[in-house]
A and B are shown apart, each in its own frame.
Chain A
Amino acid sequence: MKKKSGQSKISAVKVYFHYISIKIRCMMQYKKSFILTSLGQFLSSFNAFVGIFFLFRRFHSIAGYTYSDILLCYSVVLMEFSLAECIARGFDAFSRIVRQGMFDRVMTRPRNEILQVLGDNFEPTRLSKTVQAVIVFVYGTTHAGIDWNLLKVLSCLITIACGTAVFCGIFLINASFCFFTLEGLEVINIFTDGAREYGQYPIDVYGKRMTRFCTFVIPYTLVQLYPLKYITGKSDELILAFIPLAAALFLLPCYALWRLGVKKYKSSGS
């Protein structure tokens, strides 16, 4: 946007955090609801962790992966997913936004549509899931017996950031479909909630075809299987440490679909 003299534009980042601050203020109006929802969110995905724990009390390896490998994998995927859910909640609730005509208001404000949808629908209670993910993550990474070094830490951070981007991308696809169908497509949940569940295990335990699909169609393996191979020391090819960056490219087609949806909205208005 062109800058006018004497009037500087407030950055999108500042606006985003202002939205979040408003959402937290809104939440705090309803104290009990806030606490109970947070607690519920916290407990709901804990059972998966318990599942893995008991599974490995009986079996000591699955398809060549040890308890600590699975633990690391689970904690990384849970971290990616919960961050994405926290950030991209607006995409998840998008069919409601379109049907109730709230997208018209978005269109009459001089800011990027995605910024407004994400900011305005930020869910503070989802942060408790992230807190849980952090706990599991710290437990997982410290008990996985990994020989940490600077490069591995960096690779791990890149993996989480790009994995969050991949999940956000899937949420964005779901939102974009709302422009065409008005309802979100439940089938997309296979790729979000589903991925969180089956992503507990390195994808290649599901076989070759699945691995291929999860590499070239939706790049899950790039934010899970391959970088973790490097981090756990199963492979020392340096490219695996940075391969998650390629997964971030997944956002491009997702964004293109979104633009197409907005264009459709502008011509049909429903």
Chain B
Amino acid sequence: MIVVKNICKTYKVARRNAGFGEAVKAFFHRDYETVTALDNISFSINDGETVGYIGPNGAGKSTTIKILSGILTPDSGECLVDGRIPWKNRIEHVAKIGVVFGQRSQLWWDVPVTDSFELLKDIYSIPSEVYRKNRDELSELLDLGDIIRTPARQLSLGQRMRCELAASLLHSPDILFLDEPTIGLDAVSKIAVREFIVRLNSERKTTVILTTHDMQDIEAITKRIILIGKGKILLDGDINDISGNGDIDRAVADLYRSYEI
């Protein structure tokens, strides 16, 4: 169970105009602007639910994921993930969650994927029998086969993403955060990733929170979407209410326009 209540988060951003002179000026005196990333965000997510977290670039999606996964501390507000405050007891918290950043790898580049898995086994203190069971199950579900004996740098993006998913699930987390997991993937890999997430959710009852710009991801994986724009939650509801069984991309674009985000 994830409960988020009135979370606020601001960043300080240094701004300056173009040009060398301006750069020199900024060196001595910097104009900081406060940018509100999250403005009074509240929602709750039940165990075993899948939620699509959508919004335009810079809306605050990653900031929310970072707060929920214990990387960032919010300025104010409360947040409980299965009774834990993520940023208070970081180590205890992250042992029970999995995080996949679509644009960043967690595999060691120059060694076969299976070597990375073995290291994760030690990092997460996964008991050997649980590790073997999870690895074999995930290998089968994600069709990893020989892939895990290949160095990560020689994998295609699609193959690598499937390995990333397996890597973040070896320790059987209760909650899985996916930050743009299908970015840059071809059609076949996208479908494989989507089908896997659906299966994971129905079989292991893993709570899945997914951010994406690909509306087909949302359609395939989740019923519930949370729409965020300019740091505020604009909509929290069923995907069918929005699309009305029409073109979902267009429906979401209309939605963005109607909220002027």
A residues apposed to B, CB below 8 Å: 1-2, 6-10, 14-15, 18-19, 22, 25-26, 29-30, 101-102, 104-105, 107-112, 116, 266-270
Contact = CB atoms under 8 A, between A and B. Distances in A.
Given A107-B71, A110-B94, 12 more contacts: A15-B123, A18-B119, A18-B122, A26-B110, A107-B69, A108-B94, A109-B124, A112-B91, A268-B11, A268-B12, A269-B72, A270-B11
Given A107-B94, A110-B124, A22 B73 contact: no
30 contacts: A6-B127, A9-B125, A10-B122, A10-B125, A15-B122, A15-B123, A18-B119, A18-B122, A19-B119, A22-B115, A22-B119, A25-B110, A25-B115, A26-B109, A29-B110, A104-B66, A104-B71, A105-B104, A105-B106, A107-B90, A108-B70, A108-B71, A110-B92, A110-B124, A112-B91, A266-B73, A267-B73, A267-B75, A269-B66, A270-B11
Contacts of A116: 123
Interface in B1-51: 11-12
Interface residues of B, number: 35
Contacts of A14: 122
A223 to B, nearest CB: 33
A109 B93 CA distance: 9
B215 interface: no
Interface of B: 11-12, 63, 66, 69-73, 75, 87, 90-92, 94-95, 97, 99, 101, 104, 106, 108-111, 115-116, 118-119, 122-125, 127, 151
Given A266-B72, A267-B73, A269-B66, A108 B122 contact: no
Contact of A111 (B91, B101, B106, B108): B91
A74 to B, nearest CB: 36
A268 B10 CA distance: 9
A109 B125 CA distance: 11
Nearest to A30: B110
A269 B35 CA distance: 13
A25 B12 CA distance: 41
Nearest to A100: B104
A266 B73 CA distance: 5
Considering the complex of A and B, which 5 residue pairs feature the smallest CB-CB distances, nearest first?
Answer: A110-B95, A26-B110, A10-B125, A107-B71, A266-B73
B182 to A, nearest CB: 20
A110 B106 contact: no
A15 to B, nearest CB: 5
B122 A101 contact: no
A7 B121 CA distance: 13
A269 B106 contact: no
A220 to B, nearest CB: 33
Contacts of B69: 107-108
B125 A7 contact: yes
Contacts of B101: 104-105
A259 to B, nearest CB: 12
A108 B119 CA distance: 15
A19 B116 CA distance: 10
Contacts of B95: 110
